[in-house]
């Protein structure tokens, strides 16, 4: 028999919110999350505005799963609105739409992951874990669409004055590596890697990983080598 979670364990689980106007699908995703042993979902919303209202009151999740097509403010517009209130929230787009432009816009606005609604329970939970750990998650099918779009965009030669080490770390960031993983690979401390990351953000003129990844690929700042999309 599995022992029930203690109040402390329950309190420290990863908190996930869902923004989805398809009530049946939203409840399915909530059930998947609440059956896990490490994350929970206590809040579902049919609009971005509903989530923003609760955020403004100081209630903050770790991760938000949001649809793109929503009544009122759409999910892509919602990314900016959420990040403006609490930039640290990880956002995963969970949608039936897989066209290049929506994916590109979501990433540019700061989305940390992008999954199709056809994703399995395991893929959804894995995506949540990846973004909580500091990585970026995107379905392989969608990744191909994104790269097809990126390759059609003229690349700039602007290097933003990145040092050799910063370029190396930028490649690992685009690969989806966490700060701790990069520290292990480069034989440095997480603090040193974090300092490099902050310098990269400053030089490239972005303020989150999603924006950095999209800009780095769009402008040819990284090599397209074995990028670890899920």
**pLDDT (tens digit, 9 = 90+) per residue, 121-143?**
999 999 999 999 888 787 666 67
Of 31-40, 120-129, 130-139, 214-223, give the lowest mean pLDDT range.
214-223
**155-218: which CATH topology?**
Arc Repressor Mutant, subunit A (1.10.10)
**Does position 156 have pLDDT exceeding 60, yes or no?**
no
Task: Determine phi and psi for 181, rounding to 5 degrees.
Answer: -65, -40
Would you state the pLDDT for residue 190?
92
Domain boundaries, the chain: 7-149, 155-218
**95: phi then psi, degrees, rounded to nearest 5:** -150, 160
Region of poorest pLDDT, from 37-46, 54-63, 104-113, 156-165? 156-165
pTM over 0.85, yes/no: no
CATH superfamily of 7-149: Response regulator (3.40.50.2300)
Q: Lowest mean pLDDT: which of 105-109, 136-140, 150-154, 169-173?
A: 150-154
């Amino acid at each position: 028999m599995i022992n029930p979670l203690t109040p402390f364990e329950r309190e420290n689980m990863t908190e996930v919110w869902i923004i989805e106007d398809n009530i049946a699908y939203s409840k399915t995703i909530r059930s998947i999350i609440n059956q896990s042993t490490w994350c929970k979902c206590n809040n579902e919303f049919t609009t971005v505005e509903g989530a923003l209202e609760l955020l403004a009151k100081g209630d903050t999740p770790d991760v938000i799963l949001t649809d793109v097509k929503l009544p009122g403010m759409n999910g892509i517009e919602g990314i900016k609105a959420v990040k403006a209130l609490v930039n640290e929230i990880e956002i995963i787009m969970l949608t039936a739409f897989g066209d290049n432009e929506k994916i590109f816009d979501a990433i540019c606005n700061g989305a940390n992951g992008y999954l199709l609604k056809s994703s399995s329970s395991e893929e959804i939970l894995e995506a949540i874990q990846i973004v909580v750990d500091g990585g970026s998650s995107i379905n392989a099918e969608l990744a191909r669409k994104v790269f097809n779009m990126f390759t059609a965009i003229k690349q700039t030669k602007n290097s933003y004055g990145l040092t050799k080490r910063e370029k190396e770390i930028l490649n690992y960031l685009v690969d989806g590596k966490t700060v701790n993983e990069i520290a292990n690979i480069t034989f440095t401390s997480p603090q040193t890697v974090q300092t490099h990351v902050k310098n990269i953000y400053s030089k490239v003129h972005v303020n989150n990983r999603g924006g950095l990844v999209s800009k780095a690929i769009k402008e040819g700042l990284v090599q397209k080598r074995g990028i670890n999309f899920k």
